[in-house]
Structure 1
């Protein structure tokens, strides 16, 4: 398989189903839209849901405050709808005039005035509520560790051996963080020791903040360290990461902030704390970044639009229409849903928004929507789910004046008519032919599910089928569907096989999606139930391994289960195979 690295993604489908069931969302459809090279650490097969201290608690987190939010998450019923993370962000550390106070191994010390029982006890409390605990760190090593030349746990090395004191890392609290020099022995061991400490405390989610392109070695080190702990830890990157390195973030982490903070820092308290937490300009600017980053989201790695400021009514800084629009955008983007509001004072209107399982299902379907209309204040987004349904969001992003937003079904991806459901209200809007439109107030949204009246294609992901020895499921190229694609062995006779179900006997249309990044044809015999239906079918070059094409043919199928096999006829093997769509009259 020269030029095509392999990455086995075993048992992803089973794990995905388990993740959804655990979140109380077993009825959701599985992913069926473009994704890219994703982390294979087994975490965040669906976007994380929970709460973070930063927006509301901000610089004054305490043990009591975090426990109160955990209590409210459980008692409010939000956890039953999938909101399970309680994430302690920055300012848990103790500082002196030289920066972070450190422990005997050079790691940040906990501010015991804020957390008298320590972080492990807090994590244990969160876990006792049936929730998960998140934590926070930034790259580098503290100045105090270098000044004291603290030893690196389990090694003969010390802080001065691994610090690059010519460069200072970005940090938002105590500052005074030096870069780590990963060419020096002991640097990875230092990060490993920190990761082991966090794992021993019961951390389930780790946010590493202040990350930029220069910190890729740190992200790699933390990815390695977290895996080595043996504890499942969701790995999140922040903030405003460069999209030029998107494939790197996706390979190493489970989410990445696509923009700066959603908070407006315009409240009356110190450093702009207090209400309002945000404003519409900080939310609406995320439409463009969500569109730019869309192609990189998929199971195992998500575009993070930052905290969702819903829960405290209008005083959070958004009108009810704007809050619904924010939730709609976050869900269409399949962004993590991490609330930033005060859960101990939930507004009834907002609680109804947050417990709308139809909206949550859109976020958790694992498909990042694409923007198909952007005209002034009018925007339309769409995603296609694996069962053939289309989810469509219409927005008026303006701050004054109503606007009529329209979209043709052909723009969405189908023709004819569709059964339409309003996902915010649950209302059945009946059959709608040709197009859909809505007149929206400023900041208002309309979110619909459209089920085409014509028989939708049923999608069979190649990675859920079978393949001959030497084949792998890979995810190292862009724009595939589901969780990966099948990369057969380079050999005559190498095959991939699908089992497809026909509602009735008769002809059906099969559309096979493939990529061939070479200039050499990769012909294959196509068989149905052991009978050749297309001998030596051509699969020519598609320009790159990131570019996919369709091969469509009409074949006879039996009622019920049928086997469709693609068998290579040359030593180059078959093209990469993404999925098979089945359509019957």
Structure 2
């Protein structure tokens, strides 16, 4: 009887050992074969942002109107992010009897007992949730703008950091203030409670249903960039993370930048040649830094109606700079004028046809995110045709930032290869203010002279066999090429 008991005991131990090893091996194999999570934004994000058309003064009626048109006209072409820019939390002073703002940035911000921003009762009396819910009903994704840091008013009120024993004054860096918007202080990420504050803010965004965050005044501050990335990671919701603005971008911080999905590398881009020139300079500097999940962002597309909340006041021609208008106000030549966010006054985009072709071709070849900025309900047919052009979208969503292959006498040729196969796109840009007559060779286009190609002129709408062009000032020829199969 004892021998049988011992035998059973030994067998039981051996069986448990074998099963245990098997379990360990199975778990180990499971860990080895487990696929890493795919980073969001595997192709350049596409959407609409309210800043170019509404500044920081978007209101709920205009938001809903743009959202409905977005779903009808842009969504079928792959656009998916509907983004409300800054000001959604501001209790603005208004011009009497209108929704037009009477101040550039709201002096009074709406925030809760934890210093977390809440929707403006002035511009969003029903809150943001109806807009977010409608966005999701339409199969779109909702985005929102945030400024780096914590509201200065919350620091003055010393609001509590949610879920901690710390307060706003424990985490604020009162020496760190945005140059162009004084509503916030920076957050000192070395302080206890700092990460908790960003966690609580991003958790609120996730609870609302936010899918995209445009974070402003952030690019020069790598520690806060990483802190917000950690906050997004812990929130449990996939959120695309966009860094802005981009006029002072230090390449040494690329590791921090890559915790986000988009990196602005230009100042605000408007409907003027200087903006196009700034994009070409940024393209030279940042070519090759893109990868699936991280895109070099050259700001929004300023086509269509712009600055709808900034009607031109009496006494203003409309072509003055802000400095010139400010001087007129100072000298008493103008009164009751507030220099509002954005550039200029209500207008149709002032790009020429050639500048529009150049602008959208540049965005396609550079794989910059496509974020439309103009008002959608009033959008003209030509602008809509450009931003939904199938070749533009195919080239852009290929996700390869083109390289400069030719630069001579104010002519630049940029080439983007398809990720697979011997095909791609070429942009021949006239960067001058005079007509350029060109006769180019396959070699100058960096195409293999031993191969035969099918080459299609996208804007010309025809197949081409030679490369003799008269290119208008600031104009472009946009080509698509592929090798012909051998007979």
TM-score range (shorter-chain normalised) is 0.7 to 0.9
Tell me which residue corresponds to 1:164. Answer: 173
Structure 1 113/176 Cα, relative in aligned 2: closer, same or farther at 3 Å? Answer: closer
SS at structure 1 position matched to 2:405: strand
SS for the counterpart of 2:482 is: strand
Residues matched between the structures, number: 400
Contact residue 396 and residue 403 of structure 1 kept, 8 A = no
The one of 218, 226, 231 equivalent to 2:232 is 226
CA shift in 2, pair 1:208/1:306, >3 Å: same
- What displacement does 1:306 show? 0.7
Report the CA distance between 1:393 and its aligned residue.
0.8
CA drift at 1:58 = 0.8
Q: Does 1:127 align with 2:136?
A: yes
1:327 and 1:246 map into 2 onto residues whose CA distance is 29
Which residue does the alignment assign to 2:284? Answer: 291
Separation in 1, partners of 2:161, 2:388: 46
Which digits, 9 at most, give the CA deviation of each residue in 1:263-321, with x for residues without a partner?
Answer: 2xxxxxxxxxxxxxx21221232112112111211210111111112345993011112
CA deviations 1:135-181 (Å, max 9, x no partner) are 0111111222222221111222211221222x1321644x1422212
Deviation at 1:204, TM superposition (A): 1.0
* C-alpha contact 1:322 1:443 (8 A) present in aligned 2: yes
- Distance between the aligned counterparts of 2:179 and 2:210, measured in 1? 21
CA distance in 2, matches of 1:136, 1:294: 27
For structure 1, which segment, 152-161 or 245-254, has the greater mean C-alpha deviation from structure 2 after superposition?
A: 245-254
Whether 2:354 is the aligned partner of 1:361: answer no
2:434 corresponds in structure 1 to 400
Q: Distance in 2 between matches of 1:404 and 1:52?
A: 38
In 1, Cα distance between the equivalents of 2:250 and 2:130? 38
The whole-number CA distance in structure 1 between the counterparts of 2:34 and 2:411 is 42
CA distance in 1: counterparts of 2:250 and 2:446, whole angstroms: 26
Contact 2:304–2:348, Cα closer than 8 Å, also in 1: no
Q: CA deviation at 1:428?
A: 2.7
Distance 1:91 1:56 in 2: 13
> In the alignment, does 2:462 pair up with 1:427?
yes
Structure-1 separation of matches of 2:249 and 2:48: 25
SS state of the match for residue 382, structure 1? strand
Whose strand proportion is higher, 1 or 2? Answer: 1
**Cα separation, 2, equivalents of 1:94 and 1:253:** 26
Partner residue, 2:311? none
Aligned residue for 2:128, secondary structure, equals helix
Give the distance between the partners of 1:120 and 1:172, measured in 2 at CA.
29
Change (3 A) 1:348 1:405: farther
1:194–1:68 distance in 2 versus 1, CA, 3 Å = same
SS, match of residue 59 in structure 1: coil
Q: CA–CA distance in 2 between the matches of 1:10 and 1:246?
A: 31
Question: Once the two structures are superposed, what CA deviation does each residue of 1:374-419 show, in whole Å capped at 9, x if it has no partner?
Answer: 2242110012211221311111122333442635436525333321
| Cα distance, 1:285–1:251 mapped onto 2, change above 3 Å | closer
Superposed, 1:140-155 pairs within 5 Å as 140-155=149-164
Contact 1:50 1:85 in 2 (8 A): yes
Distance 2:287 2:439 in 1: 22
Closer, same or farther: CA 196–52 of 1 in aligned 2, 3 Å: same
Secondary structure of the corresponding residue to residue 65 of structure 2: helix
Is 1:235 paired with 2:269? no
1:379 pairs with 2:420 = no
Aligned to 1:306: 299
**SS of residue paired to 1:55:** helix
Structure 1: which 5+ runs fail to align?
1-7, 13-39, 264-277, 456-584
| 60 and 10 in structure 1: CA distance in 2 versus 1, 3 angstrom threshold | farther
Equivalent position of 1:449 in the other structure? 480
Using the TM superposition, give the Cα deviation of residue 46 of structure 1 relative to its aligned residue in structure 2, in angstroms. Answer: 0.5
**Rg larger for:** 2
Structure 1 residue aligned with 2:41: 44
Q: Is residue 113–residue 160 contact of structure 2 (8 Å, CA) maintained in 1?
A: yes
- The alignment partner of 2:377 has SS state of helix
| 8 A contact 2:56–2:87 mirrored in 1 | yes
More helix by share: 2
2:449 aligns with one of 391, 394, 415? 415
Q: Is the 8 A contact 2:226 2:256 kept in 1?
A: no
Cα distance change, pair 98–84 in 1 and its aligned pair in 2 (3 A) = closer
Gaps of 5+ in 2: 1-31, 93-105, 307-346
Question: Residue in 2 aligned with 1:575?
Answer: none
